[in-house]
Amino acid sequence: MSPRSAIENLRGSLPVVAPSMLMCDFGNLEREIRALEDAGAQVLHLDVMDGHFVPNASYGLTLVETFRRLTTLPLDAHLMIANPAEYAPRYVEAGADLVTIHYESTDEPDQVLAEIASMGAATGLAINPPTPWEVVTPVIELCDLVLVMSVMPGFGGQRFQASALEKLSHLAGLRTTHGCESLLLEIDGGVAADTIGGCASAGADVFVVGSAIFGNPPYSDRLSELAELARHGRKSLIEKR
């Protein structure tokens, strides 16, 4: 499946719960991937941290290549790295279907997004909690996805920041006013059973979940529960329109 086909499939399967593989058991990676596939996961979220842009380091190109060998599921690579202009294309080559860069990591997000798209991958732009949602406006037409961080990036297990809901609501309106209805809105950080419904009702489509899945198996039960809560939230969003 091509990256473009992968993201179109996601658009047709909303809401999507995206397991954050940072929380998985890397000593049994293939087993973890098979368990998620069997549980009905539709995409895997890969947190790439370089220890410079964020104060922690995770995995890089080699492990993304390993994920690509082990699964046909779409790979959503979230690059929390400095100098994405140099490295983002390498993650496309490594097999990522969607490559998300941070607005805060570059002075030229438009050029980096255009390069990712030119290589055939889907494009994402992430914004940190202090960053205003308005920065998305000039580049919205270059984005397949906008990721709203509800915690500061770099560490798992942080408390959800409710201010992210207002950003989601504004961005949901922005995609309507700019004719970008296919734009996906993703939320990452502290997403769990008690927050996912509010995220969905604010406009989120894709929900990155770590400990709420991996810390409480079986994965099939957690994915089903979270997806149902998200569907209920989306229903309330539709009813408000």
What average pLDDT does the structure give for the chain? 92
> Which pLDDT score, from 0 to 100, does residue 157 have?
62
Residue 2: pLDDT band with limits 50, 70, 90:
confident
Question: pTM for the complete prediction?
Answer: 0.94
> Per DSSP, which regions of 103-236 are E strands?
122-127, 145-149, 184-188, 206-209
Catalytic residue, candidates 97, 144, 188, 205:
188
Chain centroid to Cα 125, Å, comes to: 10
> Which pLDDT score, from 0 to 100, does residue 238 have?
57
- The answer to whether residues 184 and 11 touch, using CB atoms and an 8 Å cutoff, is yes
Query: pLDDT tens digit string along 103-140?
Result: 999 999 999 999 999 999 999 999 999 999 999 999 99
Query: pLDDT tens digit string along 206-226?
Result: 999 999 999 889 999 999 999
Which residues fall within 8 angstroms of residue 94, CB to CB, at 6 or more apart? 61, 64, 65, 68
> Which residue segments constitute the domains of the chain, with CATH numbers given?
3-240 (3.20.20.70)
Is residue 188 among the annotated active site residues?
yes
Question: Collapsing DSSP states into helix, strand and coil, what is residue 209?
Answer: strand
